[in-house]
Each structure stands twice: as structure tokens, then as C-alpha cells.
Amino acid sequence: MTPCPRPRSAARLLLVSVLSASGLLAVTGCSGLASDVARYASSPRTAAGSPSGSSTSSQSASALTDAQARSALVTEADLGDPWAPTQGVATWRDGFLKASTPAGTPDCQRLIDALYSDELLGAPARAVVGLDDGYAGAQLRYQISAQRAGDVDAALAWLRSLPQKCRQFTATTALGVVQGVQVADSGLPELGDARQGLRITVTRANGNDTATLTLDIAAVRVGEDAFTLTNGGLGEVFTEVTQAVAELGAERLAEVRKQARVSV
């Protein structure tokens, strides 16, 4: 019997879990992957179907409690190996994102500032978790927003405009390093009631060497609630991971809100 290889990346492991849980993939043979799939598929917190506008539009506008917001977080228990609780803010945040854009590019500066402060929707989060990928060196931050639905939609509309307004621009660090920035739509799947995903690359040259920071971001509104996630690093950053976490996050947030209504 051929031994099962250890997953090369979190993307493969997470995608197997998501596909199996939705009935699109049969997993046999490799007990490690199979056990992860079984854990994900049997979790009562992810049993609800993908939320839609018809199922969330009647949700109560009352805010989630802090405990409910924390229970809606996606954690290392959901993602499995190689994800683990973060060891601290990634060093690339100061090195690449503490920067200024040229005059006349306010939306691009706002984007850089939002990435640096980790406030994509314009306000601090109610609950947040940070996770590190021990294989690829990526860092993922997942947050439940404290913003009202109307403010979230305004922020989503702004994010949606950035692939046109800020498709390519420069950002200069405090040390005078000029970086090239590219912004593109990442094509999130249909989930929640409103959403936007972006892939951002920040590239700098140092002599003959080039370093690139890649950031996948997603912001999703589910009824009156919303979340954001940032998946970034200087190595491989898998869009599949970002999309799968966003899908799981939308399902979990809808389920937490449903449980909150039942308990009232």
C-alpha cells in the first residue's frame, strides 16, 4: 500500500475538507485526510447550508454579544495542520505596509492604511483570531466586524472599486523603498448577502533580488453581520484557502445568528 503523503500545503487539506463536506468528493485510503474531512463534515457548527439573501434578510438587527462573536470565529481547530495560533504580528506588516502613496491617490492610500491597521471595513473588530501556516509561512487574520450593515455595504462598494482605481500604483516606505502594488478582483464564490475579495501584491527590488508580499483579502456581509479575513505572506498564498475560509465563515456566522434568535 502506497503511504499517504503529508499535505504539501494547507490549501489541499482545507479544500478536501470543504469538498467532502459538501458531498462533492469521496475520500478513501488516507486516514489523515479522511479524519479531517469527517471532523469538518460532522461539526454541528458548519451543518447549515450556505446563507442566501432570502434566509438572512429577516435577521434581527440587534448586535451579537461578545461571546457570540467569538463563537463565530474560524480557528485552527477548523483548518487543521499546519495552521496554529499566531506567534505575533507578521514582520512584513511594518516592512511593506507602513508606506505612502503618491499625491492624488487617496483611495490607494486608504487601502494601504486599511491593510496596515487591519481594518478593511473601517473600524476595529469585535472578535479576531490570528493563525500562522507553519509550512508556507503565511498568516491569516479573521475578524467579526462591529460595523452596521449599511456601513459594511459602503465599505464593500469601495473595495469593489479598487481594481479599477488602484490597479497599479507605487507605495514608498519610511526608509524610501519604492514598491510596486497591484490590485485585482479575487473572484469570491457567491456567499452571504454581499461580498468582495481582492488579491494584492506588493513587490520591491533589492539589488538583484525581488521580494513580493501577497495578500488575499475577503469581506463578507451575512444579514446584519459581517467578517473580514486577510491571508498573506512572502511565500505561497493560496486563494483556495481564502475562499474556503470565507465560505466556512459565512456558514458559521449565519448559524450563530440563527442560534441567537432561537435563544431570545
Residue 63 lies in a domain: yes
Are 64 and 72 in contact, with CB atoms under 8 Å apart?
yes
- 111-130 tens-digit pLDDT: 999 999 999 998 889 999 99
Residue 28 lies in a domain: no
- 82-122 tens-digit pLDDT: 999 999 989 899 999 999 999 999 999 999 999 999 999 98
Residue 172 lies in a domain: yes
Helices (H), 43-172: 53-56, 66-71, 76-79, 92-97, 106-117, 149-165
Position 132 scores a pLDDT of: 95
Residue 208 lies in a domain: yes
CATH of the domain at 255: 3.40.1000
Question: Omega before 51 cis (within 30°)?
Answer: no
Residue 89 lies in a domain: yes
Of the candidates 157, 20, 174, 42, the one whose C-alpha atom is nearest the C-alpha of residue 97 is 174
Residue 61 lies in a domain: yes
For residue 117, the enclosing domain spans: 54-263
Here the cell at position 237 is: 498564498
- 209-260 tens-digit pLDDT: 899 999 999 999 999 999 999 999 999 999 999 999 999 999 999 999 988 7
Question: In angstroms, rounded to a whole number, what is the distance separating the alpha carbons of residues 94 and 236?
Answer: 20
HSE of 175 in the Cβ direction (CA atoms, 13 Å)? 8
Q: Are strands 168-173 and 139-145 parallel, antiparallel or unpaired?
A: unpaired
Position 219 scores a pLDDT of: 97
Residues comprising the chain, all counted: 264
Of the candidates 185, 216, 215, the one whose C-alpha atom is nearest the C-alpha of residue 202 is 215
Are 92 and 141 in contact, with CB atoms under 8 Å apart?
no
The larger pLDDT score, comparing residue 218 to residue 175, is at: 218
Which range among 74-78, 133-137, 245-249 shows the weakest confidence by mean pLDDT? 133-137
Residue 6 lies in a domain: no
Burial class (CB in 10 A: 0-12, 13-18, 19+), 263: exposed
Instruction: Count CB atoms within 10 A of the CB of residue 187.
Output: 10
Q: Which residue has 491593510 as its cell numbers?
A: 115
- The domain tally of the chain equals 1
Residue 46 lies in a domain: no
Position 259 scores a pLDDT of: 87
